[in-house]
Structure 1
Amino acid sequence: MSDSLITRRVSRRLLLGGAAGVLGLGGTAAWAADRYLIEHVEGTVTETASSAVPTGTSTDDSYTSSATSLTIEKVSTGSGSDAITYFVADITTTDATLIRSAFAQDEFGTNIIAYPSVIAKSKNAVLAINGDYYGFRDTGIVVRDGVAYRDKGARQGLAMYRNGSMTLYDETETDAEQLIADGVWNTLSFGPGLVNGGKVIDGIDSIEIDTNFGNHSIQGNQPRTAVGMIAANHFVWVVVDGRSNGYSRGMTLPELAQVFVDRGAQVAYNLDGGGSSAMVFNGNLVNNPLGKGQERGTSDILYVAG
């Protein structure tokens, strides 16, 4: 295992009214409270040069610098109960390491959360989306900005390389040290993969992710967040609003995959969705989560550094 893998637990803090409230719970309830409600800080974060003020030029829906250009498009289709609203960020860069990750409160662990916009502002991010909510589980390979934080392969992951490429991979067939040696800059661990080889992956309308206590089905019409690659250093990020009649019903996974195929993506991967789905541009929330304009706290973001 890589020496950079951070496993040391350095503190433990409570979210709910002190330890007494947790100790009063029994059986499954106590286990659930410990796993999903109590913050566990597992290690410090290795900083990258990620907080510099962006030096490019911005408009209401675009950003251009010497290394990166991006545009944001709002797409609305249908009406009434079949209305769908989603946002597409088209990103081109000459340096894939400008696509970075940040943890809530700059701490790695379980159940540590902050609003995506708050995390994004702390990094002076040009553009950000919610990540894979790694802190809701204790498995998965977590490599962020070239550093390994967790090495417990469990599911299909997404590897984002320093050379600007992206691939789907089986976490159980490799480890964090090997991924970093192969040039991986970031991994995401949620899923499923949506597109591979430019085609919608069969069977994604029946896959479930983390169907443990406290999780809900990812199937049906849902708010969504996903990332894709058209070509090396050319990315597409999509955030779909949902659960709001007359504004946006959300999308099924096959519908989401087709959005990426229509945009020319060769690879695409589903991230945490529902009320967590958020897109932030220049510090401002772009989408309308659940039709209420209110963000939900999450563990991490993926962002474009200026």
Structure 2
Amino acid sequence: MHLKKIWAVIYAVMLAAFSTFVLLDAFVIPKDRIKADEPIQSQEITDESIEAKAEAVITENSYKDDKISITISELREYDTSIYVADIQLADASYLRAGLADGTFGRNVTEVTSQIAQDSNAILAINGDFYGFRNKGYVMRNGYLYRETAQQGRQGNSRQEDLVIYEDGHMDVIEENEVAAQTLKDSGASQIFSFGPGLIKNGNITVDENSEVEQSMQSNPRTAIGMITPLHYIMAVSDGRTEASEGLTLYQLAQIMKGQDCVTAYNLDGGGSSTMWFNGEVVNKPTSYGSKISERAVSDIVYIGR
């Protein structure tokens, strides 16, 4: 009997250790790291970027130089604070993606503000948190890091991705319909695989019952959209606090439609939702319950020189 108790204790300890390792392996231990050395990613502070910023007209909620124009406004809809950045670019190369620690890999994370500073960004929002998954297309700044398709959320096959092309136009595609390499060959520069798409060809593509997997209906949200090629909208909402309830996907789509987007896409939300501009976090991220703080993420979408 005494021996059985010893073996029971040993088994319990081993099971706990294994469970801990599985959790660490899934969510904490960095792996599959690839240094972001693609040629069109520019995270260095260049003489051109320094000169452009020095000559730019910058206010608390706007930035304008000869290539980039950004205006940020705050809306109050659905008992929620929503921060909207209207962006016009001379070239799509100023719309970029940044990786935590400048590295692609599972569980490689930094807060949005840190990645933005390291990327010499002017404006940034959190991306799709690709590192939380081991499938789903990942292309950043013309470099295809992952081309393994994932099954769509909620058990269907419609995993929707946002593709941004070198000429500046955006499209929402389904991974089961087109290979990542085909998208790259067609001129894609960025592919984000969170979703779902919110607006396609000017039409809202979610309804009042749409939601991402394991998510509450009202959440902090992050979205990106296109009015015309080189004219974009980035939107981030607060949520989960007494001051801001948060948005459903349908409400988020309506916000983007109200900004005249003909294409719009849902990025990672919840505690990840962060907008950063000119050295400051614009919104009030809630990464731990209702505590105001940034969550560490895999990647950002940003505007920079």
Q: TM-score, normalised by structure 2?
A: 0.84
**Aligned positions of 1:220-235 closer than 5 A:** 220-235=217-232
Q: Which residue of 1 aligns with 2:295?
A: 296
> 4+ residue stretches of structure 1 with deviation over 6 A?
none
RMSD: 1.9
Q: Which residue pairs with 1:116 in the alignment?
A: 112
Q: What is the correspondence of 1:47-62 to structure 2 with a 5 Å cutoff? A: 47=38, 48-52=41-45, 53=49, 55=52, 56-62=56-62
Is 1:167 the counterpart of 2:174 in the alignment?
no
Whether the aligned pair in 1 keeps the contact of 2:33 and 2:105 (CA below 8 Å) is yes
Question: TM-score normalized by structure 1?
Answer: 0.84
Q: Is the 8 A contact 1:198 1:267 kept in 2?
A: yes
2:100–2:110 CA contact under 8 A, matched in 1: yes
C-alpha separation in 2, matches of 1:221 and 1:120: 27
Distance 1:70 1:127 in 2: 8
Please report how far the alpha carbon of residue 256 of structure 1 lies from its aligned counterpart in structure 2 after TM superposition.
0.4
CA deviation after TM superposition for structure 1 residue 23, in Å:
8.0
In structure 2, the partner of 1:73 is 73
C-alpha separation in 1, matches of 2:32 and 2:239: 32
Instruction: Quote the offset at 1:90 in angstroms.
Output: 0.5
AA matched with 2:37: T
Range with greater deviation from structure 2 (34-43 or 115-124) = 34-43
Structure 2 CA distance for aligned equivalents of residues 305 and 105 of structure 1: 17
Q: Secondary structure at the match of 1:302?
A: strand
- Aligned partner letter, 1:62: S
Distance 1:261 1:251 in 2: 14
Q: In 2, are the aligned partners of 1:84 and 1:251 still within 8 Å (CA)? A: yes
Report the counterpart of residue 34 of structure 1 in structure 2. Answer: 25
Query: For residue 100 of structure 2, what is the amino acid of its counterpart?
Result: A
Quick one: percent identity of the two aligned structures?
A: 38
Q: 1:163 to 1:293 in 2, by over 3 A?
A: same
Amino acid of the structure 1 residue aligned with 2:223: A
Give the residue type in structure 1 aligned to 2:24. Answer: A
CA deviations on 1:136-156 (whole Å, 9 max, x unpaired) are 000111110001101111221
Amino acid at match of 2:76: S
In structure 1, stretches of 5+ residues that fail to align are 1-21, 210-215
1:132-183, Cα deviation, whole Å (9 max, x unpaired): 0000000111110001101111221000011110000011222232111111
- Contact 2:76 2:82 (C-alpha < 8 Å) held by counterparts: yes
The answer to whether the Cα contact below 8 Å between 2:116 and 2:300 also exists between their aligned partners in 1 is: yes
1:46-66 CA-to-partner distances (Å, cap 9, x unmatched) read: 242233345233111111111
Structure number with bigger Rg: 2
Structure 2 unaligned spans of 5+: 1-12, 151-158
Secondary structure in 1 aligned to 2:283?
coil
